[in-house]
Amino acid sequence: MGKSQWVVSHRDKWAVRGEKKERVTAVFDTKQEAIKRGRQIAKNKESELIICNKDGTISQRESYGRDPFPPRDKEH
């Protein structure tokens, strides 16, 4: 599984940043543009997309890789 991609507030804009990276990959005017690009990268790397609010708290997670701990089937 590749490194997670983070959508974060960056000055007065939004950015996509790789997990544990100081430098951002790309900067966008809107959060939606950053999410779109982050999603593309996460899908290509089969990783997770982590979307943050302006205050830095995590608002959403999307996984595009193979989950090492898939949910158990509780019906069967």
Report if residue 69 sits inside a domain: no
The more confidently predicted of residues 22 and 2 is 22
For 22-64, the pLDDT digits (tens) are 999 999 999 999 999 999 999 999 999 999 999 999 999 999 9
Residue among 59, 67, 64 at smallest CA distance from 49: 64
Report if residue 29 sits inside a domain: yes
Contacts of 67 (CB under 8 A, 6+ apart): none
Specify whether the CB–CB gap between 38 and 5 falls below 8 A: yes
Q: What secondary structure, in 3-state letters, does 49-66 show?
A: EEEECCCCCEEEEEECCC
Report if residue 18 sits inside a domain: yes
Report if residue 11 sits inside a domain: yes
What total of structural domains would you count in the chain?
1
Report if residue 30 sits inside a domain: yes
pLDDT band at 21 (very low <50, low <70, confident <90, very high): very high
pTM: 0.84
Q: How far is CA 54 from CA 28, 36, 58, 59, in A?
A: 14, 17, 9, 10
Report if residue 71 sits inside a domain: no
Q: Which domain holds residue 16?
A: 5-62
